[in-house]
Structure formats: structure tokens, C-alpha cells
Structure 1
């Protein structure tokens, strides 16, 4: 299990997504903590009539709060008059009545934070899914391995039967039809064994390749705890509430899309309003300060179209959320039904076990009294072994159905909860 958690491609991919999300969030935070600085310069220009030169330097500083600072320096030199004149001006613009949480920087920060949280949650879910998938595959292989052993025992018994029939044919106690029937049965048992062995090898190879496991991997058949039926019964009585549905990763993602659409709608509504700003200016030539109120509004852009587009996006996101919730609810019901079916199957097996115990006592008495041949007794023992494997498979199905259903509820689970050490 630990090998799968370290080498599974899906898990490595999820870990890479977390690393990438952490890096992107760090870059966004760094860009927010460090102001955006722009510098521009105009080259010196020469004029033939006055032989003058001009140079302009400007620098801009933009903060995540929408604050903008601009500094400009303009210098001119007259070569004929041997004079130089420079002027420094500055401007500070701060929007008023402005929701800072709807700035592009704030929205980007929120998206990156949500993306990191989702990546971490996805990583945890992939870990759980890989654990359950590998466990399910190993349990299936355990049952298949025992099925191969049972098939080998049936082949050995059929070989004994074939040898016995052939001896009876040679002694005149049986005919060729009996020999052919025994030969056909032996061949069928051999083909069944070969099919089981091929299927086992293919399933094992698929498991190793899918999760990057070593081909020398060995495992022991785990024992299911007796308390598992009680645990499953408690879980089956729990009601699937909207809160349970909301824990699903797909529902969370859809809910995040709704929240994102709501923020974009608010931003579109804010962008449609006139932007009021406070402006401070300074000119060193006059050594004076200026204070002004600016009102900016775009009359050429149809803001109503942007609002309608944002509203439609919100409606679509809400419909998607409702659809995903219903899908998840139905899937939870299907998993609950699977758990109920696995739980009910144990009741049928309990009755079969009781019947088999009665048959065992009866056939053992017949065998001890010589009323049952050794090969018939051996065949019955193989049937008992086959039933035990069927019962083990049913317990494994119940364990996997219980763990998967519990995981879908968003509840923590441990393999020690259902399996003995």
C-alpha cells in the first residue's frame, strides 16, 4: 500500500498540482507586496532653428488598492543660449467609493488561494481513492488466488476420477462412454484452471503497471473484523442530507464557480458606475500643490452588455451547481444500495453456512460408515473450501463498499477499522 502511495501516477500528478498552485500563489502575493513600477523616457530632440534638446522621464507606481502615483521630469537645454531648464511634476490618484475586494489583483489572489485549497483537497481525495482502489484490487487477487488453488484441487480430483474410470474400463466394469465423460470433465477442469491463471496474471500485471508497484510484491490475505456488519448497519441508517452532498469535490468546485461568478457580477456592476477619484499634483516650477476630484465614466462602452453577460454566467453556474448536486446525490444513493446489497448477501451466506454444516455432519457419518466414497468426500470438502472463498469475497465486498461509501460522505476512515492486524 505504501508503494502505491509513493508511486501512483495520479498521486504524483496531484502532488505536482499542489506544488504549482503554491508557486503561483506565491508569485501573486509577491506581485501584490511589490508595487508595479514603470519608467519611460523620450530621447533628446534637436531643432535646427534653436538647437535645443528635450528629454522626458516618467515613472508610475500602481498599488493593489487602486492607488496610482506618477512622477514626471521634463528637461530642455538650449545650446545657443547655454541654458538648461527642468521641471518636476507629480500626481497621486486614489479612487473613492471603491470596493478593493473587486480589484483585479484581489480577484486574482482569491482565485489562486482557492486553487491551492482545491489542489490540496484533491491530493487528499486522490490518496483515499488510490488506497481504496489498490486495496480492492489486492482483495480481488486474494480471492482469485484461492480460486486457483480450488481449481487445482478439482483438477487433481478429476485426474483421480479419470484414472479410476480407466481402471474400471480395463476390468470391464465401465464402458467407453464413462471414460469419455471422465476425460471431458478433466479437460473442462483444466481449461477452467488455465482461464483463472491467465486472468489472475493479467489482473496482477495491470495492478503493478497502474500503480508502479514492484513485481515481487507479496501480500497476505487480511481478515475482516466481526464488527464490520455493525459499522455498515449504522452507516446505512444515516440520511443523505444536503450537507453530505456538499462535501463532494465536484459540488465544492461548482460552488466556487458560483462564488466567482457573483464576484464578477459585482465587479461588472461597479465598473458601470462613475469612478470618483482624489488627485494630488505638485509642480516644482511653481512650488505649488493642487487638489482635485476626478470623475471618470465610459460613455463609449456598453456596460449593460457586460452586466448581462455576468448575470448569465451566474445563472449558468447556479444551474450547473444544482445539476452536480443531484448527480452526487444519486451516486450516493447508488453506493448506499451497493452497501445494502453486500450487507444482505451475508445473510444469505449465513443460511448457506448453516446448511453446509448440516451436510458436513451427515456426509462425514456416511464416509466413516463406508457409505460415501473417498472421492465423493474429497469433492464435498472442495465445495466447503469454495464456500469459504465465496464468504471471504462477500466480506471483502462489504468492506470495500463500506469504506467507499464512508469516504463519499467525507468521513475519515482507516483500514484498521475493518481489518485485523
Structure 2
């Protein structure tokens, strides 16, 4: 018998390039540390400016920072300053985040100074947006630029993946969120094991979360006591709550693009548009005070303390104000993300549902509501489950929340997303539409 020839149709056995993974491990660690330090640095500066304006300046002037006229004044000034930065600083503070997802093409480094300033103004000024979109763009631009110069053999797409994973790990204080998001989005050669593709990004994510937790006391939990949750009834209740709250998120998504279009068509100057947007945000904030301002994570932890004095309608009003503020802030052009304020909206609605239906555990109401709003806002099921469990860290909620996520997904799958059509496409359709 002659030698057996290999079947040309049989695929070669894939061998994991362990040597390359080991060599890339320090790179992942460095990227993770840089991304975490970028988030930490911007957060620190924004926190100092916030304290200066809302505490020291108001105290020096003898003003109650919760007073309506002070809130309106500061938000209007934040809008004016943001508009000036977007109009006159080179790069115009990057792309309009209302028309972009969490991950987008890397920006040119010259854009970053304006984007950093605009982000600090958003975070410190009380605007109802978080740091997610800007810090993702800032870190991506830095990592891609440095990577292309220092390690040109690594492609831009891989640098983007590392930056994304590291920044998500830093934002949420755990690599679990990054693992869930990138595993859902990850694609490539099916012969390559998933963990081979995730290895270096997870090194970056784990490093980012470690560094940010070392420098901050980041904790997403709102501190609710453990409650007994289980059984078919609670699963069905979680599904119902998530569907209702996701429906509210869909309504917000439906009005978002028209709102963005109207604001950019009627107020083409970003200075005018953001000043008016800041004024409207201030008027909304004056209704219930500073609890509806800022990105919402710290303010969300105030909700348990509101239970003794706030009715179901009161919590729903808080959620409605925050949702309107988030939509107006983003549609106006403030540089910020929509995930964290959306989580506040979900949590506030959960408290309202519990106040209206006290026999249902508060933990279940809050977590299922966060899941419902997150599914509508992010269109990412795993991230939504993670956020629900991060806000209410109770493991026996996992199964109800998973069913709730699946049900909410069916509702939002074909609904409009919480993004606006890019202005460039509007200009192509109508040259009269201009704006930053």
C-alpha cells in the first residue's frame, strides 16, 4: 500500500499561538492601565469642578445648591460653555454622540482636547449624561495612535478591541461586563477558540477594572437588603415589569431622532442649541432638585432614602424627568453617554412599581426595571442582565432577570434604537440642515 494522502477538504488543526498570547499580555496590561487612568483622570477633574461650582461657589454666595434658580443658572452656563467649545475648539469636540454607538471609529488626536473639556463640562455641570461615549472615544484615539507608532504589527482593529474592553472594565469596575459585551459582538474565524480571541482583551479589561477600583470606591449597587425571590410568580412578574419598562424605553427611542432633527434644524449654531438645551435641563432639574441631575449613579443611591416620603407617582415623575433630560441633553449635542442615566430611569421606575405594588420585592422591581430600560437603551442582552445584577447584587435574581431580558428583547428587537441619524446623512438629504 502507498502512503495515505491527506484529504485536501479536511481543515488543518488549529493551534493556539500561546507564544503570541504571552507576548501580548504586557500590552494588554498597559492598555488596561492607560484606559483606567484616562477615565479616572477625567472623573477626578470633573469631580473637582463639580465640587467647586455646586458646593464652594454656592456656599460663598449663600445659595442653596438645590434651589431652582441656581440649578437653571448652572445648567444654562454649562450649555453655553459646551457650545463654545464645540463651535470654536479645533475638532469640534468629536462626533455627535447622539448619532453614534458606544464604539465608533477612532478620532484624530487633535480632537481630544476639545472632547475632554466638553466631557468635563457635561459631568460637572449636572447634565443628565454619563462618561461612557466620550471616554470610549478618548481612550480609543490614544490607544490606536500610540499602538500604531509603537507596535505597528498590531492592527487598528485589535487596538480598538483592547481599548474597548479596557474602558468597559474600568467603567463598570469588573471585567465581567467587558467579557459579556465583547463575546456577544466577537466574530472571526470559527476555528479559533473564543477564549483565544478574548484572552488579550480580558487582560486589558481585568487590568482596567483593577486600576479603577484601586483609585476609586466605584460600586454600582444601590444597597438594598436581600429579599427572598424565586418561583414562577416572581419570574412572571419580572417579565411583566421588564416589558412595561422596555416599552417606555422604546417610546423614548421613537421620539429621540425627531427631537434631534428638530433641534439641529431650528438651532444650527451649537452655541445657541446647547445654551437653550442647558436652560431646558435646568428647568427640568428645578422640579425635583439635584437628584435628577448628573450621570445618575450616585443619585440612584439616594432612591432608598426617598421611600419614606415619595409616592409611586413621585418616583415615576423622577424617572420621567430623568428620561426627558437624557433625551434633550443628548439630542442637543452635549458630549456624554446614555447608559448610566438610563439605569437611573429604570431604577426609579422600579421603586415606583414597588410603591404601587408593595407585595412585590423591591429588589425584583428595581432589577427587572433596570433590565427593561437597559435592553431598550443598549440593545445588548448580556450587559442588561449584568446591570440588573450589579445594581441589585442578589444571585437568585439571575433566572428571573434572564427571562425578563429575553421578553424585553422580543419587544425591542424591531423597534427604533436610541440613536439619531447622523447629521451628515441629513445634510445629504437636505443641504439646509447644518450643525456641529
TM-score normalised by the shorter chain: which range applies? under 0.3
Higher relative contact order structure (alpha carbons within 8 Å, sequence separation ≥ 6):
2
Higher Cα radius of gyration: 1
Q: TM-score, normalised by structure 1?
A: 0.21
Q: Which has the higher helix share?
A: 2
